[in-house]
Chains A and B, each alone.
Chain A
Amino acid sequence: MSFKTNCLAAVAGLALLCGTAQAQTLRYANQGELKSLDPYTVNETTTHAHLGHPYEGLIRRGKNLEILPGLAESWTISDDGKTWRFALRKGVKFHGGEDFTADDVVFSADRARAPGSNVQTRVPTGTKVVKIDDHTVEFQLTSPNPILHYQWDTWYILSKTWAEKNNSTAPTPASATTPTFASLNANGTGAFKVESHQPGVKTVFKVNENWWNKSPEHNLKEIVFTPIASDATRVAALLSGEVDVIEPVPIQDIQRVNGTGTVQVLTGPELRTIFLGMDQVRDELVESSVKGKNPFKDIRVRKAFYQAIDIETIKTRVMRGLATPSPLMIAPELFPHTGFTRAKFDATEAKKLLTDAGYPDGFTVGMDCPNDRYVNDGQICQAVVGMLARIGVKVNLNAQPKGQYFAKVLKPGGYNTSFYLLGWTPGTSDSHNVLFDIMGCRDNPASSRGEANVAGYCNKKVDELTDKIIVEADKAKRDAMIKEAFQIAADDFGYIPLHQQALAWGVSKKVKLTQRADNAVHFQYAVKE
């Protein structure tokens, strides 16, 4: 009897397998962990990418980062630029069966601005979110903002009834002693549902049969995600066929991975710009042999540092060709580099500039650098140390893990650095963010301007232009002002932009995948044989 049952079960199982032969399981490993399923607690690219499977925003970004309708089918902007009206998609259901309505958008806007949320900037302060009818929402702003929706692809909409039922109306605050339901469970409208989630260990997504998009591009029935932090282990897992997709592939392993024939590396430019910053605020540097004055306040010293760096050798040797040297602090995909060139690498000229500035024998300066954040960041810094040594500058390199590095150099650590390497991707995919956060003057403590301007570069003309740029709706005028601002900063040698690093995803040849420049791994477009 029991034999017969087993047999039937086996036959049934086989039939099931046969019936769904098209649908595949995709196994994916990333360097980082998926810490919380609550989409408002961690503001970080990889987490947003993961949560883009169960959740959706009002807009989507397409394969080329173009803005596409998401949960909002269309929108209109009033003439004064202050009122945005969104028409919501009809007939959309959350995974739990709840209907998607305007109430959910209003609720999500409140939740995103609640204490404990890390995505508060998605909805500008003072904005009123008004439900017009079940499928229309209005955002009433205090000042015009043409890029209001730019980051909304990662402002995910939650179900109001679900959140209220499960006591998750606010994001889990860090001091909470019990986690909210939403950090362990997800209920979105997206293409995949969360089947199981063990934080930092494994997360399984199952296909959402009731997705509003009836003709999905993917053919997956399941995504199994495991974080693998160690580079070598992650590459080994891909090479041995234990996983189908990994991100990132260390650039030195790309050739080897491509050489196997069963897997390949997708590479492309990333939007992040890697740059060097020099403290221009303090009257005496935190760590330097120069006492009583700050050498970086002298433009000749900044220019000397710039020209001492042989960016091409860094590109070919450290980055193995997978980097685009950049004259600007923003990627060319986000603002065209036409008309800008990097100051030429010229060690002799650099040495002369240092002598002119009064440092014929150079000086000693400390440098801070992360060693696990950007592609080969530690090696880049070491290379910079060597290049500066040749113009007589002795650099004491302090390369450390990102947690400790950020704690030291960023605002909460009191910008405690003299010379540092940092990477920046404007979250809005727009130049304004760079001009405001990285290049804005830090002199007004009440303003958030220049919060990430660790170097403290300051030019009031840039600030003036930045303030005009945020409210300017005319694209041509706006671009001209952005160009002018970037030109001023470049002429000041306020920063030393290095390059845009490359993305490198390891993908099994059985999988077809689109690589997006913001490095978000989305499997909505994945097809596996």
Chain B
Amino acid sequence: MFAFILRRLFQSLIVMLSVALIAFAMFRFVGDPVNQIVSIDTPQAQVAEIRRSLGLDDPFLVQFARYIWNAARLEFGVSYQFRLPVISLLGERAPATLELALMSALFSLVVGIPMGVYTALKRESWLAKVFQAVSLIGISLPTFLIGILLIYLFSVTLGVLPSFGRGEVVRLGSWWTTGLLTVSGLKALVLPSITLGLFQMTLIMRLVRAEMLEVLRADYIKFARARGLKTRAVHFGHALKNTLVPVITIAGLQLGSIIAFAIITETVFQWPGMGQLFLRSVQNVDIPIMAAYLMLISFLFVTINLAVDLLYAAVDPRLRATVGAH
């Protein structure tokens, strides 16, 4: 088991290194950062000087090694556009993204699970069919359009929810800011959370439905029925409980992708999070921010993956045996 953990840790490290390499390499192609720093009328000699001072003239490997060394110390350099350390820019925006991601994950679970259970139990009812069709709309329209339609309806027409930003935030500790403690902060969370969570909600609803249907066919459920347990007890005591394990796992794994896909939602709602910062950086060819963001996201993924793998290994002796055999 210890060897297994070690090996997985080592693999994760390799993953991080390759992400770093890709992240670093890809942005060599996207655009020339020097252009973003200078204005049109900056003299050529000065442009060359900036290029040199940024180390952009060094060989690729030298630049990469320097990048890794700095990244290991959480030194992601200075943003070309803001002239501020990238880590502080990302840190300042991380709470906004994490809160949004958590709220939309919560939304997708709270709405998705009951809808999934219902559609599985009452497969033929018209309401179940409505649920299924409606949930599909969540994945039938692009996120940006859904967001703008929600803004149009709830902000412009009805005037009940804000169209942009986080509302009033409260500072907790030295760097965390939260919108969960003020009315305007909570209101501001509603539309972006729904926009971002709609896709996951559909996913979870369908997953719960499929898993429930499978489980309901399983032998032990049949036994439970045969033993004369009440339908409700069978459904919620046995079936749902067994359904939730894979659902929670998937939801956990999805958390990372929610954060990644927050890019579009944050752009539409001017949500001051990391995704929005990232997209603006792509448009402004701000390589340090882009690279650091990728590293951060992949770190998150790798951590979640690692945790899930270790949990599985701990829970499922068969998998452990298989993994250990090699």
Q: Which chain A residues have a beta carbon within 8 Å of chain B's beta carbons?
A: 29, 33, 35-36, 38, 41, 43-44, 115, 118, 120-121, 172-179, 183-184, 198-202, 226-230, 232-234, 236-237, 239-242, 372, 401-404, 406-407, 410-413, 427, 437, 445, 448, 451-452
Contacts and interface: CB of A to CB of B under 8 A. Distances in A.
Contact of A411 (B44, B93, B283): B44
B78 A404 contact: no
Interface string B268-301: 1110100011001001110000000000000000
A174 B40 contact: no
B78 A452 contact: no
6 contacts: A118-B42, A199-B82, A200-B82, A201-B272, A202-B165, A411-B40
A183 B270 contact: no
Contacts of B39: 43-44, 118
B41 interface: yes
B32 interface: yes
A229 B252 CA distance: 31
Given A228-B270, A236-B163, 17 more contacts: A33-B81, A36-B82, A118-B38, A120-B43, A174-B80, A179-B85, A199-B82, A199-B89, A200-B89, A226-B270, A229-B270, A230-B270, A233-B151, A233-B268, A403-B36, A407-B32, A451-B41
Contacts of B135: none
Given A183-B83, A411-B44, A236 B156 contact: yes
B213 interface: no
A227 B276 CA distance: 12
B261 interface: no
B156 A179 contact: no
B272 A200 contact: yes
Contacts of B276: 229
Contact of B32 (A177, A232, A412): A412
A121 B84 CA distance: 25
Contacts of B92: 198, 201
B50 interface: yes
B139 interface: no
B130 to A, nearest CB: 30
B98 interface: no
A227 B165 CA distance: 10
A444 to B, nearest CB: 12
A173 B78 CA distance: 10
Chain B CB within 10 A, most for which of A33, A36, A175, A234: A175
A21 B36 CA distance: 44
B37 interface: yes
B75 interface: yes
A38 B78 CA distance: 15
A240 B155 contact: yes
A44 B36 CA distance: 12
Contact of B163 (A173, A202, A233): A233
The 9 A-B residue pairs whose C-beta atoms are closest, nearest first, are: A175-B53, A236-B163, A201-B272, A43-B39, A407-B31, A172-B83, A240-B155, A228-B270, A403-B285
Nearest to A405: B31
Given A174-B83, A179-B85, A239 B37 contact: no
Contact of A175 (B38, B54, B82, B155): B54
A200 B79 CA distance: 12
Scoring A401, A403, A427, A437 by chain B CB atoms within 10 A of each residue's CB, the highest score goes to: A403
Contact of B85 (A44, A177, A232, A406): A177
Contact of B277 (A200, A236, A237): A200
A121 B41 contact: yes
B163 A240 contact: yes
A239 B272 contact: no
B49 A227 contact: no
B155 A404 contact: no
B190 interface: no
Given A200-B277, A427-B41, A451-B41, A233 B83 contact: no
A229 B272 CA distance: 11
A306 B155 CA distance: 45
Interface in B15-60: 30-32, 34-44, 46-47, 49-50, 53-55
Nearest to B151: A236
A24 B30 CA distance: 45
B267 interface: yes
Given A236-B155, A242-B164, A452-B41, A230 B83 contact: no
Interface in B105-163: 148, 151-152, 155-156, 159, 162-163
Residue with the highest number of chain A CB atoms closer than 10 Å, among B42, B46, B89, B268: B42
Contacts of B77: 177
